[in-house]
Amino acid sequence: MTGETAPRRRVLLHVCCAPCGTHSADVLRRDWDVTLFFSNSNIAPEAEYERRLTAARQLAAAAALPLVVDAYDHAAWLQAVRGLEDEPERGRRCESCFAFSLGRAAAYAREHGFEAFTTTLTISPHKSSPTLFRIGESLGGFLAMDFKKQDGFRRSVEASRRLGLYRQDSCGCEFSRRPPPGGSPGRPAR
């Protein structure tokens, strides 16, 4: 007996935005060594992407967690959702969007020796956790964490306010900012 403890397993946490990363990282780091992975080619325009990336850097500094920033390639993302532009939010375009970002997280995790990857997307009441689990599990190495459990979304809102993080009012892509047919263009903050 040397008394040494086994090294903790490493998980790559795909962070869709800093506010969603707050509570999700807190939950995960109880059992894992967490690395944040900012891979969000869905976000447009690029100025909005930069704003969310700045907030992710703020979160990484406040939480003392490493942050990996993936390449931003909105043209490739547009290609991945081609033909689905007019789908409603929560529809098939969003499934392709999830597959795009989770696919990049899965590949990075595999290539860099992480035991698992997961995503903050499950914390949003606007996102279906079963859909995210199905897509994540199809990629291999996915850790199915439903961060919206135990009041996760409210906790993330409170934490992001405490840290003064930028909170957007649309999901991310240009199609998520279209007003709903016959509806108001206003959307709840997320």
Binding site for ligand SF4 (CB under 6 A): 42, 89, 93-94, 97, 171-173, 175-176
Peptide bond into 130 cis (omega under 30): no
Q: Which is nearer to ligand SF4, 60 or 97 (CB)?
A: 97
The Cα angle at residue 183 between residues 180 and 187, in degrees rounded to 5: 70
Phi, psi dihedral angles at 4 (to 5 degrees): -75, 140
Residue closer to ligand SF4 by CB (options 158, 166) is 166
Minimum CB separation from ligand SF4 for residue 61, in Å?
Answer: 26
* Least distance from ligand SF4 to the Cβ atom of residue 174, Å: 8
Looking at beta carbons only, is 114 or 175 nearer to ligand SF4?
175
Q: In whole angstroms, how close is the CB of 153 to ligand SF4 at the nearest point?
A: 16
Other C-beta atoms lying within 10 Å of the C-beta of residue 178: 14
Quick one: 14 or 93, whose CB is closer to ligand SF4?
93
In the β-sheet with 33-38, what is the strand arrangement from edge to edge?
67-69, 33-38, 10-14, 116-119
Q: How far is the CB of 119 from ligand SF4 (least distance, A)?
A: 11
d(CA 190, CA 169): 6
